[in-house]
Amino acid sequence: MSDADSNAATPAATTTATTTTTIAQPPAVTKTPVKETKRWADMEDEESKNTLSASSSEVNIDNLKIDEEKKINSFLDEAEDSNIKAVISGETPYTSAKTFEELELRAELIKGLYVEMRFQKPSKIQAISLPMILMPPHKDLIAQAHNGSGKTTCFVLGMLSRVDPQLKAPQAICICPTRELAIQNLEVLLKMGKYSGISSECAIPMDSTNYIPINKRPPVSAQIVIGTPGTIKKWMSAKKLGVSNVKILVFDEADHMLAEDGFKDDSLRIKKDIDRSSPHCQVLLFSATFNETVKNFVSKIVKDYNQLFVKKEDLSLASVKQYKVYCPDEMTKIQIIKERIFDLGENIGQRIIFVRTRNSASMLHKQLVDDGYAVTTIQGANTPEVRDKIIKEFKDGLTQVLITTDLLARGFDQQQVNLVINYDLPIKYDTQEPDYEVYLHRIGRAGRFGRKGAVFNLICGDRDEATMRKIELYFQSEVTVVNNSEEDFEKALKQSGLLE
């Protein structure tokens, strides 16, 4: 299992107002193909080191007034984000924040929110969760909300706010399931904290080009560390990452980080070690999904916590139209992708095609490329440098169609993605039952932040049909059938708001 590194593919160099910070080039280790495991991100984690600093500069917020006419992030007010419920532990009163100023943030952070992030006011989840995160006694928080509702801002702003810029030691740690998500979160942190003077470091797997043995690495002095669990655990075990000053520990995609088939062992070890030297560390667990098993487990490892949640029937994103297409065989699936998804969808933005296995990804890629279609494919068996290159090209808009395993199902944020195709429906490895959480995360790649989007589920055979039926029952939402005709697909895309 691993995650996003930074080379030419992700931010190889980040320039702030007064400081240039460079991510060490990831060494190109050619990994032996990893055995298929039950974990969805597919690769062993290994050490790495990246340093990125958000620079400080004098802040003048006199001219940062909110312009109500511009509605820069008005999409955050849309209805899909409106069903969040809070459960408060104890008697501490919390008031929902209508403006960022009400949170009494430092001026440098206010400037970052308005100038760099171009935010206008908190989204619903931010308005409710940020007072819980920032207000003493800094209770733990379990937060579940829709994909694209602004969760990343909550914990990134929480980390930036709790750090003492004068103390040059790790004070906040964010653990992510994949390299790609770790880098993405770091990019948000750098942007939001550009004027704060707070330093950050990315603990993610690297390739071998600039490989430095762990015993020769200097101790981490960055105030915020974002990374994958294997690398963070290695740095802690090697006494390169001290945690005695850590005030806040974040688990992004927390349900997977603490699930049996996820990163449970590494995550618990990290938390236990932090508890030992920093017993009052605040723990934040964020995800779009928490099944009952994980909820019960989480409630045992965090005490006296606040909670945000949505009912599961409210989770399937209202802004994303879901469709199912019955296919008599695999070749029909490929024909639909070529003739409907490519030809009809070429003017509607970027598209992601999800497959279940690496073999399916390779097969579909070869078939489409052989037929003259331009696609890229990413999977956990790719080396870090290849993964980074593919992600950068897609995020830069150089490629329009990306085939992926569930490596990118969670947290991957590309606002130009309007269309998701489930070539294979997500199945739990151990039970062959539908993976409801992964389905929700997949469809959440389209329609980010309340934008329009569509999902086409390709159904082939009785097993797929039974799986789709269970997904519909679970979310209490019937998925519309689309016949395999140009007219029906065009109609569906128009209903989704993707075609005029």
**pLDDT (0 to 100) of residue 10:** 35
Mean pLDDT across the stretch 474-493? 88
- In 3-state terms, what secondary structure has residue 491? helix
Q: How confident is the model at residue 299 (pLDDT cuts 50, 70, 90)?
A: confident
**pLDDT (0 to 100) of residue 478:** 87
Whether residues 331 and 296 fall in one domain: no
**pLDDT (0 to 100) of residue 346:** 65
Q: Does residue 42 form part of some domain?
A: no
Whether residues 410 and 294 fall in one domain: no
**Which of 266, 282, 314 is the C-terminal boundary of a domain?**
314
What percent of the residues of the chain are helix, what percent strand, and what percent coil, each to the nearest 5? 35, 15, 50
- Regarding predicted confidence, which is higher, 22 or 480? 480
Residues 6+ apart with CB under 8 A from 300: none
For residue 150, pLDDT beyond 80: no
Number of domains the chain is built from: 2
Whether residues 304 and 369 fall in one domain: no
pLDDT in tens, 237-275: 999 999 999 999 999 988 888 877 778 889 999 999 999
Q: Does residue 33 form part of some domain?
A: no
Mean pLDDT across the stretch 195-201? 95
Whether residues 418 and 306 fall in one domain: no
Strand-strand pairing, 417-422 and 50-53: unpaired
Enclosing H/E stretch for 474? helix 461-474
Summary count for the chain: helices (H), strands (E): 14, 18
Q: Does residue 26 form part of some domain?
A: no
Whether residues 214 and 116 fall in one domain: yes
Whether residues 275 and 357 fall in one domain: no
Domain CATH code at residue 283 = 3.40.50.300
Identify the weakest region by mean pLDDT among 109-123, 344-358, 464-478, 484-498: 344-358
Q: Does residue 65 form part of some domain?
A: no
**Which of 314, 339, 361 is the C-terminal boundary of a domain?**
314
Q: Does residue 78 form part of some domain?
A: no
Highest mean pLDDT, choosing among 13-17, 51-55, 470-474: 470-474
**pLDDT (0 to 100) of residue 149:** 62
CA dist., res. 288 & res. 102, Å (int): 26
Whether residues 117 and 189 fall in one domain: yes
**pLDDT (0 to 100) of residue 57:** 35
Residues in the chain: 500
The mean of the pLDDT values for the chain is 77
Q: For residue 1, what are its two tokens?
A: 């299992």
Whether residues 150 and 273 fall in one domain: yes
Q: Does residue 62 form part of some domain?
A: no
Identify the weakest region by mean pLDDT among 69-78, 203-212, 258-267: 69-78
Residue with tokens 């689309």: 482
Give the global pTM: 0.66
Q: How confident is the model at residue 227 (pLDDT cuts 50, 70, 90)?
A: very high
**pLDDT (0 to 100) of residue 125:** 82
Q: Which range of residues forms the domain containing residue 251?
A: 84-314
Whether residues 413 and 357 fall in one domain: yes
**Which of 295, 314, 333 is the C-terminal boundary of a domain?**
314
Paired residues of 376 in beta bridges: 402
**pLDDT (0 to 100) of residue 486:** 86
Q: How confident is the model at residue 175 (pLDDT cuts 50, 70, 90)?
A: very high
Whether residues 95 and 228 fall in one domain: yes
CA dist., res. 10 & res. 331, Å (int): 35
Whether residues 324 and 398 fall in one domain: yes
Whether residues 289 and 338 fall in one domain: no
Question: How big is the chain by its Cα radius of gyration, in Å?
Answer: 22
Q: Does residue 79 form part of some domain?
A: no
Q: Does residue 386 form part of some domain?
A: yes
For residue 408, pLDDT beyond 80: no
